[in-house]
């Protein structure tokens, strides 16, 4: 689960324990991946294929929480790798005998395939494709003649085909259906909302994290459940409505947790919480609640904010999975793009990414070739795995990978010294691989903040422990492979921070503008389902922006924008976070209320946003939303509740402005000349 931007950074000991804590589905996913890794080692050992360690590592890229996406991803990757290996084989026929041509072809193939990875729809699976490309090119550059090259490329194909086959079989038998995962996630959110109503202080942080996650993953699972046969189209429509209703329930519960004046009386809140618990049980049982009756006491004695919460909860719960008959027609589907991204040939960053990664890889290739030290060839493969688009992402992931590499190498070396000498069969080696994979998968499929460390733990551990078709304990091999991994990380860091460094700042500006436009559009939507879906997407986008700002912590000083720019953008996101709830609840009760537009105008101008490339600032001065000129609200709207929401939003913005002014004054006093 992602954290607010201010809290992101290198986690301390207490925070690390939280990131490693169990959560629903984590143990199941880790056990399934560990089982596939162990079976992959068994098959690779039975057939005597080399580099069984890489085959086991590929498993981490092939699997997703649900069985449908795991099977589809495995099948697609096998097809892509078959095409790539075929291309490398054709090139090898013409270039193998000439060292100069061979090196040139490696560089050209690397550039072309990396450009495709960055500029096309292959980007989501780019890491595993890059790993296979690196392995195949490494084999191409190290074979002395044609017959060996053919066998080496065949082994490169088997390196992927074996884990793909095992993954498909295990997922078809043990993988959870996407319908089950969607139901389980909805149940978790309802229980969290119930806790927020019954014990607000205990659920405040959990509600904030849940809202910024969005419901895109739930929508994907529901779509896949039709392919899986676990849901009918009618079920999917009802569960989509349930997901949108859950958004409204979470926002109402979040308001209760953060505003004492919005809290419901004890019996009132407990009654709603018990209803939500019952609904969660129905979802976990595989169904979904319909025709929910919620008898609530009269709301006349509640505060205006509490009445808003009560009305929102009543509407969302009683119509939880009710597919509206008068649903708005779906907007016309956008024209599907082709294989390449829209900016594939206009954005030079795709070319720069391919050039930088290829340069780093070729440097490593030539280094270990000239040193005649093939044991560190893992530096060549590591380059393809750790290189990412922006400098911040590359440095962040490199930090996690170095920590993970050292941890994996330490555990692997300890296993070689104390465990491997006692192993006498491949089944015992499977058990060792299972244990290492289980530990690595627990980290890799948990929090995104430490996931890359888990991948690197697995990479280093497998390379140390799995040295062939039978248990082996060559410490020199483990040492060389670990040195290669660390060398590859260092080379990538030096090149990506010094040559065409790409800051995440440009992405932040573009996404922030899109976020403001998204709130403007969703506030005018009359249909509740469409509005709630858009609101969930907007909150998730704001969370992603906070993560991007936190990533700038990893950028070198010559790449990172000025501190003022970061402070201003962080302040704007804090304001978005503060008024998301009031904006959403106001749009629920009065769609199109122009007070929302007033808030958004105020966010656009205060505090002034400074371009990272220029020192100029926009002029502030938008009116508060409560004072902004607005159309008369609908007669059916609770005017006191509307006024309370406007007052709450303005108060939150004023509090943030006051805090920003105090910080600025303090900073000025600190740096003022004596």
d(CA 106, CA 109): 5
- Predicted pLDDT of residue 631: 41
- Predicted pLDDT of residue 22: 85
- Predicted pLDDT of residue 332: 44
- Predicted pLDDT of residue 19: 82
- Predicted pLDDT of residue 188: 95
Structure tokens given for 6: 């201010």
What residues form DSSP beta bridges with 340?
120
d(CA 212, CA 2): 8
d(CA 296, CA 267): 10
| Neighbouring C-beta atoms of residue 336, cutoff 10 Å | 5
pLDDT reading at 341 higher than 60: yes
- Predicted pLDDT of residue 126: 67
pLDDT reading at 137 higher than 60: yes
d(CA 473, CA 665): 63
Higher-confidence residue of 187 and 661: namely 187
- Mean pLDDT of all residues in 544-562: 84
pLDDT reading at 586 higher than 80: yes
pLDDT reading at 625 higher than 60: no
Whose structure tokens read 């709630």? 532
Task: Please write the tens of the pLDDT for every residue from 529-552.
Answer: 889 999 999 999 999 999 888 888
Residue 392's contacts (CB-CB under 8 Å, 6 or more residues apart) are: 503, 504, 548, 551, 552, 553, 554, 555, 559
Give the number of C-alpha atoms closer than 13 A to the C-alpha of residue 288, restricted to the C-beta side: 27
pLDDT reading at 612 higher than 50: no
CA pseudo-torsion sign 649, 651, 652, 658? positive
- Predicted pLDDT of residue 614: 40
- Contact at 8 Å (CB) between 221 and 70? no
- Predicted pLDDT of residue 281: 94
- Predicted pLDDT of residue 470: 67
CA distances from 417 to 412, 469, 471 (A): 9, 18, 12
Higher-confidence residue of 508 and 105: namely 508
- Mean pLDDT of all residues in 385-406: 79
- Mean pLDDT of all residues in 335-349: 76
d(CA 609, CA 564): 9
Where does the pLDDT of residue 7 fall: very low under 50, low under 70, confident under 90, or very high at 90 and above? Answer: very low
pLDDT reading at 626 higher than 50: no
Average pLDDT, the chain: 82
Where does the pLDDT of residue 622 fall: very low under 50, low under 70, confident under 90, or very high at 90 and above? Answer: very low
Q: What is the DSSP letter of 377?
A: T
Quote the percentage of the chain above a pLDDT of 70: 83
Of the listed ranges 157-161, 176-180, 283-287, 600-604, the one predicted with least confidence: 600-604
pLDDT reading at 16 higher than 80: no
d(CA 612, CA 151): 53
Task: For 485-526, give the secondary structure using H, E and C.
Answer: HHHHHHHHHHHHHHCCCCCCHHHHHHHHHHHHHHHHHHHCCC
pLDDT reading at 618 higher than 80: no
| Neighbouring C-beta atoms of residue 508, cutoff 10 Å | 23
| Greatest pairwise CA separation for the chain in angstroms | 88
pLDDT reading at 671 higher than 50: no
pTM of the predicted model as reported, rounded to 2 decimal places? 0.84
- Contact at 8 Å (CB) between 135 and 159? yes
d(CA 607, CA 617): 9
- Mean pLDDT of all residues in 630-652: 72
Phi, psi of 617 (to 5 degrees): -130, 150
Q: At what angle do helices 639-671 and 304-318 cross, to 10 degrees?
A: 110
- Predicted pLDDT of residue 623: 44
- Contact at 8 Å (CB) between 603 and 578? no
Highest mean pLDDT among 162-176, 193-207, 648-662: 162-176
pLDDT reading at 168 higher than 90: yes
Task: Please write the tens of the pLDDT for every residue from 185-237.
Answer: 999 999 999 999 888 888 888 899 899 888 999 999 999 999 989 899 999 99
- Predicted pLDDT of residue 217: 92
CA pseudo-torsion sign 628, 632, 637, 640? positive
- Predicted pLDDT of residue 672: 46
Where does the pLDDT of residue 337 fall: very low under 50, low under 70, confident under 90, or very high at 90 and above? Answer: low
Structure tokens given for 439: 């530990």
pLDDT reading at 430 higher than 50: yes
| Closest to 398 measured CA to CA, from 286, 490, 334, 322 | 490
Quote the percentage of the chain above a pLDDT of 90: 31
d(CA 114, CA 353): 8
pLDDT reading at 651 higher than 80: yes
Higher-confidence residue of 583 and 628: namely 583
- Predicted pLDDT of residue 616: 37
Helix %, strand %, coil % of the chain (to 5): 75, 0, 25
In terms of Cβ atoms closer than 10 Å to its own Cβ (0-12, 13-18, 19+), residue 132 is: buried
d(CA 486, CA 382): 8
d(CA 423, CA 594): 72
CA pseudo-torsion sign 131, 137, 141, 146? positive
CA distances from 339 to 116, 344, 352, 587 (A): 9, 10, 20, 38
Cis omega (within 30 of 0) for bond into 108: no
Task: Please write the tens of the pLDDT for every residue from 86-135.
Answer: 887 777 777 666 778 778 887 888 888 888 888 887 776 766 676 676 66
- Mean pLDDT of all residues in 139-166: 77
Residue 506's contacts (CB-CB under 8 Å, 6 or more residues apart) are: none
Structure tokens given for 215: 């419901």
pLDDT reading at 350 higher than 80: yes
Q: At what angle do helices 178-198 and 67-95 cross, to 10 degrees?
A: 130
Task: Please write the tens of the pLDDT for every residue from 278-333.
Answer: 999 999 999 999 888 877 766 667 888 988 898 899 899 999 988 766 554 444 44
- Contact at 8 Å (CB) between 199 and 272? no
d(CA 547, CA 35): 33
CA 17 distance to own-chain centroid: 20
Task: Please write the tens of the pLDDT for every residue from 40-64.
Answer: 999 998 888 888 898 999 999 899 9
Task: Please write the tens of the pLDDT for every residue from 459-486.
Answer: 889 988 988 766 776 788 878 888 988 8
CA distances from 209 to 11, 342, 536, 542, 576 (A): 17, 32, 12, 12, 15
d(CA 179, CA 89): 42
3-state secondary structure of 610: strand
């Amino acid at each position: 689960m992602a954290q607010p931007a201010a809290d992101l950074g290198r986690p301390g000991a207490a925070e690390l324990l939280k990131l490693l804590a169990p959560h629903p589905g984590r143990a199941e996913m880790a056990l399934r991946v560990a089982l596939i890794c162990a079976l992959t080692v068994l098959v690779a050992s039975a057939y005597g294929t080399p580099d069984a360690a890489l085959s086991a590592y590929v498993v981490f890229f092939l699997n997703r929480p649900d069985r449908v996406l795991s099977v589809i991803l495995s099948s697609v990757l096998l097809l892509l790798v078959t095409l790539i290996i075929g291309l490398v084989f054709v090139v090898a026929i013409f270039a193998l005998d000439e060292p100069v041509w061979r090196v040139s072809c490696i560089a050209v193939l690397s550039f072309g395939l990396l450009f495709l990875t960055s500029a096309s729809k292959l980007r989501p699976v780019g890491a595993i494709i890059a790993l296979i490309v690196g392995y195949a090119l490494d084999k191409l550059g190290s074979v002395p003649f044609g017959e060996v090259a053919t066998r080496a490329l065949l082994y490169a194909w088997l390196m992927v085909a074996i884990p793909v086959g095992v993954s498909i079989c295990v997922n078809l038998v043990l993988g959870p259906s996407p319908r089950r995962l969607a139901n389980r996630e909805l149940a978790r959110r309802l229980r969290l909302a119930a806790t927020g109503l019954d014990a607000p202080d205990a659920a405040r942080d959990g509600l904030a994290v849940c809202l910024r996650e969005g419901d895109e993953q739930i929508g994907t699972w529901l779509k896949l459940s039709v392919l899986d046969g676990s849901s009918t189209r009618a079920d999917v429509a009802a569960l989509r409505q349930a997901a949108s209703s859950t958004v409204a329930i979470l926002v109402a519960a979040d308001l209760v947790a953060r505003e004492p004046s919005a809290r419901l009386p004890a019996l009132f809140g407990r009654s709603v919480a018990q209803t939500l618990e019952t609904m969660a049980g129905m979802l976990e049982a595989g169904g979904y609640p319909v025709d929910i009756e919620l008898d609530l006491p009269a709301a006349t004695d509640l505060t205006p904010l509490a009445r808003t919460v009560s009305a929102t909860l009543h509407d969302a719960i009683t119509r939880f999975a009710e597919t509206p008959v008068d649903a708005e027609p779906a907007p016309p589907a956008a024209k599907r793009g082709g294989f390449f991204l829209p900016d594939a040939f206009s954005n030079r960053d795709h070319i720069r990414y391919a050039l930088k990664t290829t340069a780093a890889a070729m440097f490593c290739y030539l280094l270990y070739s000239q040193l005649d030290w093939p044991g560190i060839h893992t530096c060549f493969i590591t380059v393809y795995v750790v290189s990412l688009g922006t400098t911040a992402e590359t440095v962040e992931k490199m930090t996690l990978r170095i920590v993970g590499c050292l941890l994996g190498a330490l555990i692997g070396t300890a296993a070689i010294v104390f465990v491997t000498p006692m192993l006498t069969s491949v089944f015992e080696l499977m058990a060792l691989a299972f244990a290492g994979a289980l530990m690595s998968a627990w980290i890799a499929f948990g929090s995104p903040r430490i996931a890359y460390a888990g991948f690197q733990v697995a990479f280093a551990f497998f390379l140390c422990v799995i040295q062939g078709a039978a248990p082996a304990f060559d410490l020199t091999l483990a040492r060389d492979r670990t040195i290669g991994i660390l060398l590859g990380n260092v080379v990538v860091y030096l090149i990506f921070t010094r040559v065409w460094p790409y800051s995440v700042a440009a992405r932040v500006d573009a996404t922030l503008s899109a976020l403001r436009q998204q709130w403007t559009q969703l506030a005018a939507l009359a249909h509740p389902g469409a509005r709630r879906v858009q609101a969930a997407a907007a909150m998730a986008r704001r969370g992603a922006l906070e993560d991007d700002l936190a990533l700038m912590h990893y950028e070198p000083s010559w790449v990172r924008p000025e501190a003022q720019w970061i402070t201003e953008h962080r302040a704007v996101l804090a304001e978005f976070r503060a008024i998301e709830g009031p904006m959403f609840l106001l749009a629920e009760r009065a769609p199109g209320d122009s007070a929302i537009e007033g808030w958004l105008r105020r966010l656009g101008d205060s505090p002034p946003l400074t371009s990272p490339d220029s020192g100029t600032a926009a002029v502030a001065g938008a009116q508060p939303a409560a004072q902004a000129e607005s159309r008369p609200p609908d007669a059916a709207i609770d005017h006191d509740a509307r006024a309370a929401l406007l007052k709450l939003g303005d108060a939150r913005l004023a509090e943030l402005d006051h805090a920003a002014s105090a910080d600025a004054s303090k900073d000025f006093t600190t740096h003022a000349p004596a």
